Structure 1
Amino acid sequence: MQRPRIAFLIPSLETGGAERVVATLSNHLIDFFDVTILVLYKSPIFFDLDPRIQVVFCGDSYKPIYSLKHSFKTHIRLTRKIVSLLKTHNIDLIIGFMTTPNIYAVLASRLVKIPCIISERVHPEYIDTSKFWFKLRRRLYPIADNLIVQTQDIADYFSKFVNPKKIQIILNPLNPSLVEKRDQQVLKENIILNVGRLDYQKNQEMLIKAFANINADNWKLVIVGDGQEKEHYKSLINELNLNGKITLVGNTNNIAEYYNKASLFAFTSRYEGFPNALTEAMFFGLPCIATDCPSGPSELIDDSVNGLLIPSEDQLALEEKLQLLISNPELRSKISIATENNIDKFNVENVSQQWQKIINNLLN
């Protein structure tokens, strides 16, 4: 009996939270479905994928769009290409990840007449989108068969124009290969860790400035990730005379090494869809300080129990909590123990079963 064929649609498989979730889900769902990942633009694949998964690029490497006419032609061309690929690969169901792929997925699915699931990965109120895309999203999202989000806050936003019965909250799974690398025998070092893209959203600038203002003589700040703010952060670190105290690691294939040896985790985002890095840090038992940004941290952290929450963009509060944890190893230990509660809900088996149920309901 032939297995159902499903396809994920995503901009790239480079580093990123949405990309990691697609890779993790694909590696698990391949045991139940034939899985194809349609990638909008040709780019390097950062994540390890099961060899049974087929990756197909819809277009060449991304090039900036400079005019409305060029933009319209690009969108039409990509939509046609996706339709062609869905037919060629006999796809039974398509799953869009992120706003632009979601729009393409809805349009293509209706042209091919197959079910469509879409998934938002960032809080929609904070996505920098044009009025055209904003209106297009409001018109097309209600047509999708299901909309997957990660938090109640995001579900409430979309329920204003999408049938609430179509909206489901599914948490992001922990990567099984990362789970296997947790090692509680690793000797902890005096490291404050941050993991994420170096950009406005993640707001590592506040963390760098806060670290410069606290008494942390024998501590280091390690930031893992890459992005458009890298050169700015390098200059800032140099201006603050902290070149030996702050390390910008860049992207790495062995993030577990840093989670294992760090002593605390600082999460400074201005907004999120769901904070993957915070989830991972808590799984590794790191006491975490996180901004209470929309959305996600407050659904993970019970303030002063299994972590510390601070107002978004509040540098003084960040300095205060960093100093508190640095100077109080007993509090770090207490919070670390508390982080291990309720972590099973991020198990890939549990998350995958929820996705399987939705997919099977649409295919049957």
Structure 2
Amino acid sequence: MSRLRLLMVADTLAGGGAERVILDLVNASLSRDDVDIVLAVSQKAGPLKDAFPKSMKIYEYGAFRAAHNAFANARALRKICTAERIDAIVSHMTTVNKAMLRAKLIAPALPPVFIVEHTEIARQIFDIPSAWKRRTRPIEFRLLYPRAAGIMTVSQGIGEELKRFCEINPRLFTTILNPVDRKRGQGAAVSPVQAGPKGRVVISVGRLDGVKNFKALLRAFAQTVAAREHRDDRLVILGEGYQRERLVAQAQKLGIAGQFHLPGFSDDIFAHLAAADLFVSTSLYEGLGNATLEAIAAGIPCISTVTAGSQELAQHITALQLVAQGDDAGLAEAITTQLAEDRLKVSAADQAFIESLTPDRVLARYLEFIETKRKGRDE
């Protein structure tokens, strides 16, 4: 049986959800005899740059986000695909997807391009300060995305947005949820953050930026501290970003600086999750929510603001409670209620759902979709 050779393309090797998905898929491919994965990035930099297998081929070919780099991208891709005998290109994240599709438009002889969309499209179209970009971005999606050989979205909500705003044929789509590598959580060390005698640990994960809306989490946690009438609870946010100093200042203003911890970026998220009692996501938008899946895998219940991703996961996970965007009081009440429970736990059914998302099973879904579309093009 011939091995399918895939070129996976990302921006950098940052520690975000899309990059972790690629890492999980690459690791899963090592035990299979039907696929080889080669990686291409604009820049071989980021917290995950040393996490990939040493045998992994990683090409670096410069920035490709801007449209004026399309010809250079096409030349670089053609060189890589020829050298590696690539059968299909799989790109991740919107800017990379558009870059790959521009290159395919310029060089039609490139292998078929499959794109993975991790982000809510409506937010990308309408939550832009520039009025010009708000008008032109839907046109860009409509011109480029239908040229993909297939589109994989990490939640059904993203697919529905693409169909609605970008007028793309539904037959191009499939929804494949992100993998969860539970092996990374085996033997996890205990987090250094410990609650007091009456307290519990609330945790969140993500870049310290506006999209994750951690300011709302701090406000809600302050209300929880007041409602529980002690200061033994702790709030931990894993991640780095430009809002670090703002969040520290906000915690001081709210009077919860002693209960708030920012350990920074961690590649061992499970170590912190295993020592926590409750996971909370306050994202303004989220394609799926890898950290939520990892929290369920670690055995702790979750609260999330309503996003495309959280609505997707709520269809499968009972230990996930949704709260409306902008409802700080509702979020605080949900956190307070959960922490008042004698025993916070995740059901066996939820754990079984997580088991269906092992990297090998998710990779198999990728391969099945790609092969189906490739055969359809050949017939």
CA distance in 1 between counterparts of 2:79 and 2:265 reads: 34
CA apart distance, 1:239: 2.3
SS in 2 for 1:281: helix
CA contact (8 A) 1:192 1:265 kept: yes
Correspondence list, 1:201-280, <5 A: 201-215=211-225, 216=228, 217-280=231-294
Question: Is residue 340 of structure 1 aligned with residue 330 of structure 2?
Answer: no
Q: Residue deviations 1:121-180, cap 9 Å, x none?
A: 011111256344432221111111100002222222222422111100101000243243
Q: Residue deviations 1:284-316, cap 9 Å, x none?
A: 1112111122x1212323699423211112100
Compute the TM-score of the two structures, normalised by the length of structure 1. Answer: 0.87
Q: Which one of 73, 89, 110 corresponds to residue 94 of structure 1?
A: 89
CA contact (8 A) 1:201 1:270 kept: yes
CA contact (8 A) 1:117 1:147 kept: yes
Q: 1:33 to 1:302 in 2, by over 3 A?
A: closer
Look up the equivalent residue of 1:325 and give its one-letter code.
Answer: Q
CA distance in 1 between counterparts of 2:216 and 2:206 reads: 14
CA contact (8 A) 1:286 1:339 kept: no
Question: Is residue 115 of structure 1 aligned with residue 128 of structure 2?
Answer: no
CA apart distance, 1:252: 0.9
Question: Is residue 146 of structure 1 aligned with residue 150 of structure 2?
Answer: yes
Look up the equivalent residue of 2:122 and give its one-letter code.
Answer: E
Q: Which residue of 2 aligns with 1:68?
A: none
CA distance in 2 between counterparts of 1:90 and 1:338 reads: 42
Question: Is residue 326 of structure 1 aligned with residue 339 of structure 2?
Answer: yes
Question: Is residue 360 of structure 1 aligned with residue 362 of structure 2?
Answer: no
Q: Which residue of 2 aligns with 1:298?
A: 311
CA distance in 2 between counterparts of 1:350 and 1:303 reads: 17
SS in 2 for 1:249: strand
Q: Residue deviations 1:1-34, cap 9 Å, x none?
A: 8633210111111110001001111221243322
Q: Which one of 25, 45, 48 corresponds to residue 46 of structure 1?
A: 48
Look up the equivalent residue of 1:213 and give its one-letter code.
Answer: Q
CA distance in 1 between counterparts of 2:217 and 2:356 reads: 29
CA distance in 1 between counterparts of 2:337 and 2:317 reads: 12
Unpaired segments of 5 or more residues in structure 2?
none
Q: Which residue of 2 aligns with 1:312?
A: 325
How many corresponding residue pairs? 352
Look up the equivalent residue of 1:265 and give its one-letter code.
Answer: F
Look up the equivalent residue of 1:167 and give its one-letter code.
Answer: F
Structure 1 stretch displaced more, 245-254 or 105-114:
105-114
RMSD between aligned residues: 2.8
Q: 1:248 to 1:98 in 2, by over 3 A?
A: same
CA contact (8 A) 2:154 2:178 kept: yes
CA contact (8 A) 1:188 1:263 kept: no
Question: Is residue 199 of structure 1 aligned with residue 209 of structure 2?
Answer: yes
Look up the equivalent residue of 1:268 and give its one-letter code.
Answer: T
Q: Which one of 170, 180, 197 corresponds to residue 174 of structure 1?
A: 180
Structure 1 stretch displaced more, 296-305 or 168-177:
296-305
CA distance in 2 between counterparts of 1:115 and 1:304 reads: 35
Q: Residue deviations 1:225-250, cap 9 Å, x none?
A: 11121121122123233222100111
Unpaired segments of 5 or more residues in structure 1?
66-70
CA distance in 2 between counterparts of 1:183 and 1:192 reads: 17
CA distance in 2 between counterparts of 1:74 and 1:311 reads: 41
Q: Residue deviations 1:294-345, cap 9 Å, x none?
A: x121232369942321111210001111111122224x24x56664242222
Look up the equivalent residue of 2:18 and give its one-letter code.
Answer: A
Q: 1:133 to 1:208 in 2, by over 3 A?
A: same
CA distance in 2 between counterparts of 1:179 and 1:74 reads: 40
Structure 1 stretch displaced more, 228-237 or 201-210:
228-237
Question: Is residue 58 of structure 1 aligned with residue 61 of structure 2?
Answer: yes
CA contact (8 A) 1:94 1:109 kept: no
CA distance in 2 between counterparts of 1:315 and 1:162 reads: 37
Look up the equivalent residue of 1:39 and give its one-letter code.
Answer: V
SS in 1 for 2:8: strand
Q: 1:362 to 1:29 in 2, by over 3 A?
A: farther
Q: Residue deviations 1:267-287, cap 9 Å, x none?
A: 111111111111111111112
Look up the equivalent residue of 2:299 and give its one-letter code.
Answer: G
Q: 1:119 to 1:346 in 2, by over 3 A?
A: same
